[in-house]
Amino acid sequence: MTTEYVREDGRLFNTLRNMKLEVGVLNNADGSAYIECGNNKIIVGVYGPKELYSKKHAKVDGAVLRCKYNMAPFAVNERKRPGPDRRSVEISKLISEAITPCIFLEKYPRTSIDLSIEVLEAEGGTRCLGIVGASLALADAEIPMKDLISACAVGKVDDRIVLDLSEKEDKEGQADMPIAILPRTNEITFIQMDGHLSGEEFDEALKLAFEGCKFIYELQKQALIKKHEEM
């Protein structure tokens, strides 16, 4: 008799936490999205493309994507000093690189697209949720893209490959691997790994991550369609 492996929060190995996606939540931003997943609460805002007059920063062959990931002081257990820390700087860079392959930047020379990911409450997996939200906010701002970007994290906990690590699983687990993909063409635009994985475990994890991303892709599409049906 085999029993299903049940994680500490009651989920199976391939269960995603409940996700709520909302598009167009801010009045001022050109595009915006809000994500709740477990206790994660993330809001993403996009301004642009807007003409960039600073010759130093503007690029003649395409738009400049400026991406900032930031955590609120009250988002974590120990209050975090406001302002960018090294972790936020690294994540900002990675998210920018995850999104760039997807946008037709060349359509908007001499402009900037400013994207801000604000984590209001964190509970594991904020960088992936930030990418999911950024994709929706960019679509909301009508910035031309090849596809939506989907992201989720897989990891190893208790020697098992699991999907969508909670904060506890992230801290106490044996491996954590967030990825972001363009679901239509299966291109990977973001991948990081922390911990120990054998070659086989990596293959299993990658396959599970793709399944998770494809599921989230459907949720993203529904969120966009829902917003326009309301209009």
Closer Cβ to another protein, 5 or 104, answer by number: 104
Specify the DSSP element, H or E, that contains 89.
helix 86-99
Q: What is the CA radius of gyration of the chain?
A: 18
Specify the DSSP element, H or E, that contains 119.
strand 111-121
- 111-121 and 64-71 strand pairing: parallel
110 binds another protein (CB under 8 A): yes
Closer Cβ to another protein, 26 or 193, answer by number: 26
226 binds another protein (CB under 8 A): no
142 binds another protein (CB under 8 A): yes
Number of residues that bind another protein (CB under 8 A): 56
Residues for the chain: how many in total?
231
Give the other-Cβ count within 10 Å of 105's Cβ.
Answer: 20
Q: Tell me which stretch binds another protein (CB under 8 A): 2-10, 60-68, 168-176, 188-196.
A: 60-68
One-letter amino acid for residue 61 of the chain: D
Closer Cβ to another protein, 136 or 197, answer by number: 136
CB 46 within 8 A of CB 63: no
Closer Cβ to another protein, 147 or 204, answer by number: 147
Helix or strand or coil: residue 182? strand
Residues engaged in binding another protein (CB under 8 A): 26-29, 32, 39, 41, 43-45, 47-51, 60-61, 68, 72-77, 79, 82-83, 104, 108-111, 114, 116, 118, 120-123, 139-140, 142-148, 182-184, 221, 224-225, 228, 231
